[in-house]
Amino acid sequence: MFEDRVDAGRQLANALNQYRNQDVVVLALPRGGVAVAVEVANELGAPLDLIIVRKVGVPYQPELAMGAVIDGSHPIIVRNDDVFYSSGVSEEAFQRECAGELKEIERRRALYFGKKAPIDIAGRTVILVDDGIATGATARVAILGLQQRKPRKVILAVPVGANETMEALRHEVDQVVCLEEPAALEAIGFHYGDFSQLSDEEVMNALASTRSR
């Protein structure tokens, strides 16, 4: 169990020590992943940036991911078929939820980045960081988006992830670093003493503190 995201980030950075002062870029999944990624970036001496992905939740149970979306010139949608079909949600409703999440991505990109372009990751090693992984939908769509930007290597790094999900994700990236992999992950927050949500202002402050690297 981790005290909070800062503690989790420091422990994760220690597990990634081989990449210290190497040509790596740390990419955080906001909002929660940012607090973890800041510690990783600081410890490794690496630049920090964001990859903005949104979970597409079941309308009557928003925390249950039936998919995820990422923005770009060609938005990518990943669907968790098991959750989608068992939820009884129609295709029309699913697409409507996706459209709403893409609008939220546009809002966050304008807020976090303004007119500043994301860091170029072509030919570089990328460490993708989140505060935890349950179904893996958000991570999968982030990985697909990263592959379009042609990094040399993609490392998925999280403090905690469901064992079955992490095993599946190991086939989609070059390396997975996960500190805790419970067989039955009831909730990511159960592995943290403090799992309070981050505000947009906290995300922006975190970026400002590391982006000068």
Render 108-136 in DSSP notation, one character per residue: HHHHHHTTPPPPP-TTSEEEEE-S-BSS-
User: What pLDDT is recorded for position 211?
Assistant: 58
Give how far the C-alpha of residue 150 lies from the chain's centroid of Cα atoms, to the nearest Å.
Answer: 18
What structural domains and CATH numbers belong to the chain? 5-53+116-210 (3.40.50.2020), 54-112 (3.30.1310)
- Beta pairing, strands 153-160 & 175-180: parallel
Q: How far apart are CA 207 and CA 48, in angstroms?
A: 7
The identity of residue 104, as a single letter, is: E
What distance in Å separates the CA atoms of residue 147 and residue 155, rounded to the nearest whole number?
12
**CA atoms of 125 and 91, how far apart (whole Å):** 37
List per-residue pLDDT tens for the chain, 213 residues long: 899 999 999 999 999 999 998 999 999 998 899 999 999 999 999 999 889 888 899 999 888 889 888 876 677 888 888 899 999 999 999 999 999 999 998 888 888 877 777 889 999 999 999 999 998 888 988 998 898 889 999 999 999 999 999 999 999 999 999 999 999 888 999 999 999 999 989 888 887 877 555
Query: The whole model's pTM is what?
Result: 0.84
pLDDT at position 14 is 97
Q: Which two tokens stand for residue 84?
A: 């989608």
